[in-house]
Structure 1
Amino acid sequence: MSPPRPRVLVVEDNESIRVAVAADVDASGALVHECSDGRELEKLLDSFRPDLVILDIMLPGRDGIELMKVVRGTSSAGVILLTARDAVEDRVHGLAAGADDYVVKPFAMAELLARVESVLRRMGRVPSAVTVGDIVLDTNSGDATRGGHDLELTTTEWRLLSYLAAQRGRTVSKTQILTQVWGYDNYDANLVEVHVSALRRKLEAHGPRVVHTRRGIGYVLTA
């Protein structure tokens, strides 16, 4: 019997950010709920009972720091703060107030997903390894294997494979990959092609092709 999916609550008043974060966290295997302000947050703490809250600091009404105190007072959920303020004193203030982690906007989705995994793993809510077919990604060590063989990936290749694994079975565009892996969408798309080709060579040294091209659309990992 597989363990229950971790519950993640996304609290963000910017709809486009909220929807994107919720969709990608859901695709990574969590059960996700979203809301836009503190009133909804308080209701969902009781009804949804999240394991982790992704909480924007700059919310209408009470800000994220105040709302984090509400979370801490009524729940054992972890908290990751999202903010556009990247000054050291702001980060220190957020962490000192009780946040488990802190992500500055704009961020690469792959980075946020890695931080979500890290917090949930420390809480014992996710396994330390992600398995897709015969590919194993150890999120503790950063190692990757296929069929028991070390893949020796670069940092970028690791992020790329982790993102494709989180989206396994779904076709993702080059723009999505640029945004989620690099944090930008204005790089030359050839950058994606170069890294996908390098990743394929390492994967296919130990088995058949699993990263497929959907011509004119993007790439999909099927294993």
Structure 2
Amino acid sequence: MAILPALQSAALRLIGRKPTVFFGAAGNFEAEVCDWANEVAQDIAKYQDWQALQRVWTVTGDGSTTEFPLPPDYDRMLQNASLQDLQNWAWGYSGFTDINSFLFDQARGFTPYPGGWIIYGNQLRFSPAPQASGATFPYISNQIATAADTSPKSAFTSDTDSFVLPERLLTLGIVWRWRENKGLDATGDQEAFIKALDEYAAKDKGSQIQRFGGTRRIPNTSLAYSGIAR
């Protein structure tokens, strides 16, 4: 479904009216809602490893190339993601936790069979080079929207775009962030958004992003990731 109803629902709660156009409208309020829609959508997408954003990519080796570009729509690796060797199905590539360990083992040939991997410099790097059998791995796509013609997009640019995640979260998130930005009391709005976010996340069954510390982290400012460098 297009995001227009979600934006209109937020506007009705904020200013008591439903604009018919947001993207391309001349009004300041509509422009603010569009900006917050993309901001909130990114917050939601990074909250956990939603199954709707999960993709699988295959790297085809040649026995000599050690560096490969990431998928065009790459956002991040899944929590605890692993690279599978397509020939030796019983085990996969070992993930290095930091660049120093990777470079140390690479220089000395200490990597286990079939090899190890890490991401840095926006490249997927292996030691040693993967063979022609290749490797496959899951990742999270940055394409959080779809156009009216169903083509994927990384951001909203039109009222006819759709959100690949629950659009109700857009409404709740926009209301909270807009009111908070205006210096208004948005405590209840924040709580409603977080509650809905947790409920949808629990039903989705995607792997949770690890958060550290004893207090709840708010997704727009305090997302923390662990695992392989990226």
- Pairwise same-fold verdict (TM > 0.5): no
Q: TM-score, normalised by structure 2?
A: 0.26
Higher-helix-fraction structure: 1
Larger radius of gyration: 2
Q: TM-score, normalised by structure 1?
A: 0.26
Higher RCO structure, 1 or 2 (CA under 8 Å, sep 6+): 2
